Chain A
Amino acid sequence: MSEPVLALRDVVVRAGGRTILDATALAIAPGEVVALLGANGAGKSTLLHVAALLRRPERGVVAIGGQEATARNAAMLRRSLSVVFQAPLLFDVSVLDNAAAGLRFQGLSRSEAQRRAQFWLQRFGVDHLARRRSRTLSGGEASRVALARAFATDPAILLLDEPFAALDAPTRAELLPALRERLRQSGAAALLVTHDLDEAFAFGDEIALMQSGRALARGAGAALLARPPNREAAELIGIETILAAQIEARDAGRLLLRALPDGPCLRAEVPPGTAPRTGEVVTVTLPAAASRLLRRGEPAPVGWNRLDGRVGAATPLPAGTRLTIETPAPIVALAPWHPVAEVWVTGEEAAVTFPPAAAHVIPAER
């Protein structure tokens, strides 16, 4: 395996008597694109500042390209990374001079720096603005210039601190794939800090989850959704149905569980590498998109769980309607959007059905 382009080991950061990063470890391989997802205040931005060598941790090691950062070599190591902050932070000079700034600092001649900057402005579709003053740009244009500036120095890794947070949804929807494509072409690795679940899924080959200064889990978005390693990770990845359940019986690879305190009963698969025992209390997670909704009397597919109840809260979403089905334990499901409106009325009888594989069992920590 090649040397990680960025590695953090046991990094601890304290501020105002509080620990805001705690023994955080993170490694990013060359060309790897990782989204760092966490709530506000989880320590994501601090981690990014530490990774960018803009903040020295109280403890721990940061290595860029396999080289351990020190106060002496920080300036030199910073040359192999680029940082894009939440605001574009353009300087009050021309767009071209902004995009060329990093190259100029590295000692390139003005003409060579501008030539390379122009190339990246063109790649982000803003080369026609090169002569404009940066403060006359729209938010989307400024973000593109900031990205061009970050790519212009040919970094091994881009560190992105919620670069799209201030943009409107259409601009974001345009820029995110553009950024992914440029990353793919350039072969640069990237770490994107975000609190937006959709953005994390759309951007990262992998998603790293973070809470209260600690790294919780890391993996492909779909894998985290299917098998979150712990309750906190399940919540962060957007799973709303998280039940405490007791193992009633176990046969072959299947578990029979009873949601606490009083049902319903459901079947789940034994998670690989675990040996849950009968009587043990575990956590069961079920992503909303894994369930299907059934009308009263409608049969469930053979071998699937079926939990009957009534329609509770209904929230319209662009992709459909988010429904809570009040079985003895509330189950959140998604009724996908359909051209012929499927109306689910609060209070009506309904059932949710899902295959045993969709319910993920997290054994209690021992």
Chain B
Amino acid sequence: MTELSGGLSEAVRLLLGGDPEVWQIILLSLRVSLTATVVALALGVPAGAALALANFPGRSLAVAAVYAGMGLPPIVAGLVVSLFLWRNGPFGTLGLLYTPTAMIVAQAVIATPVVAGLTLAAVGALDPRYRLQLLALGASRAQTVWWLLRQARLPLIAAVVAGFGAVISEVGAAMMVGGNIKGETRVLTTATVLEVGRGHFATAFALSIVLLVVTYFVTMTLTLLQRRHAAL
């Protein structure tokens, strides 16, 4: 139990003490995961909307692929991205492996199916007559999609939370493509793994608490946004 109490006081010290190394790790975690979430939104929302609204050959196959992708193990995503970015891989010349950019790519691969799947579900759950109503009012295709997404705004915020939650908490891909290099690609989850490996359970526990607090604040902000919309 000393690890628990020690971890708690260590966490408070790390957060409030302004330890530059810890703050650098926190900021990198946020930068990587928030950027990956934004990329996932940019790709996943249009993809999910298209799957919900368009009818094309192979649609059900694509839907199945998206839903399967929602359960994609981060370690697999990390491995695939590694293979692409490996020095001898197709994108090896870019020299991205073991950089935050590589981590963003891997996390975007993880979050995009989550966002796409939840967008698909959110838009698919709308009364189909909304679409007819928009068409009848003379909306163009783009206007129809935009108004339907706005109509599904609340569940879409849930998609953002889920996407961000999936990547801020994953360790496999960050470790594999980032390499957990101190000062460069070390994020909260990989740092925690490292501290456990070293036997520094209190520090590991403190980092976990920091991760929890960070995740809590980000999702809290999004949830408040959702509530505010719901209450209006």
Nearest A residue (CB) for B144: A105
Q: Given contacts A52-B136, A87-B127, A89-B133, is CB(A133)–CB(B151) below 8 Å? A: no
Cβ contact within 8 Å between A92 and B138? no
Interface residues on B, range: 10 to 19
Task: Say if the beta carbon of B139 comes within 8 Å of chain A.
Answer: yes
CA distance A93 to B153 in the complex (A): 11
In the bound complex, residues from chain B placing their C-beta under 8 Å from that of A87 are 127, 129
Residues in A with CB closer than 8 Å to B125 are: none
B132 engages A54 (CB within 8 Å): yes
The answer to whether the Cβ of B1 comes within 8 Å of any Cβ in the partner chain is no
Decide yes or no whether A85 CB sits under 8 A from chain B: yes
A-B contacts, 8 of them at CB < 8 A, read A52-B132, A81-B136, A83-B132, A89-B127, A91-B151, A93-B150, A106-B138, A153-B138
Contact A78 B136 (CB under 8 A): yes
B147 pairs with A78, CB closer than 8 A: no
Indicate if A79 sits at the interface (CB-CB under 8 A): yes
- Say yes or no for A49: interface residue by CB 8 A criterion: yes
B127 x A54 contact (CB < 8 A) = no
Chain A neighbourhood of B54, CB < 8 A: none
Give A247 to B135 CA distance when docked, in angstroms.
55
Name the distance in Å between A50's Cβ and chain B's nearest Cβ.
12
Which residues in A have their C-beta under 8 angstroms from that of B139?
A: 101, 105
Given A78-B138, A102-B138, A105-B138, verify A85-B150 contact (CB < 8 Å). no
Cα separation A52 to B137 with both chains bound (whole Å): 10
A-B pairs under 8 A by CB, number:
51
Q: How far is the CA of A127 from the CA of B15 in the complex (A)?
A: 53
- Tell yes or no: B232 within 8 A of A by CB: yes
Interchain CA distance A82-B129 in the complex, whole Å: 14
A75 contacts B133, C-beta separation under 8 Å: no
- Indicate whether A85 sits within 8 Å of B143 (C-beta atoms), given known contacts A93-B150, A102-B137, A102-B138: no
Contact A91 B136 (CB under 8 A): no
Answer whether residue A149 sits at the interface, using C-beta atoms and an 8 A cutoff: yes
Task: Tell me if B217 counts as interface (CB < 8 A to partner A).
Answer: no
A83 pairs with B232, CB closer than 8 A: no
Q: Is B88 an interface residue (CB 8 A)?
A: no
The residues of B that contact A89 with a CB separation of less than 8 Å are 127, 129-130, 133
- CB atoms of B147 and A54 under 8 A apart: no
CB interface residues, B 112-130, toward A, < 8 Å = 127, 129-130
A92 contact from B127, B137, B140, B151, Cβ within 8 A? B151
CA distance A295 to B150 in the complex (A): 67
List residues 162-191 of chain B with CB under 8 A from any CB of chain A: none
Within 8 A of B (CB), among A88-105: 89, 91-93, 101-102, 105
Using A101-B147, A133-B232 as known contacts, list a sample of 4 further A-B pairs with CB atoms less than 8 Å apart, ordered by residue number in A: A79-B138, A83-B132, A85-B129, A93-B150
Q: Is B136's CB under 8 angstroms from A101's CB?
A: no
| CA gap between A299 and B8 in the complex, in Å | 102
Pairwise interchain contact A83-B138, C-beta atoms closer than 8 A: no
A63 to B143, CA, bound (A): 26
Closest 5 CB pairs of A and B: A83-B136, A102-B137, A105-B138, A89-B133, A105-B139
B132 and chain A: residue at smallest CB distance: A54
A82, A93, A106: the one contacting B136 at CB < 8 Å is A82
Q: Which residues of A contact B133 (CB under 8 A)?
A: 83, 85, 89
A106 (CB) vs chain B CBs: closest residue? B138
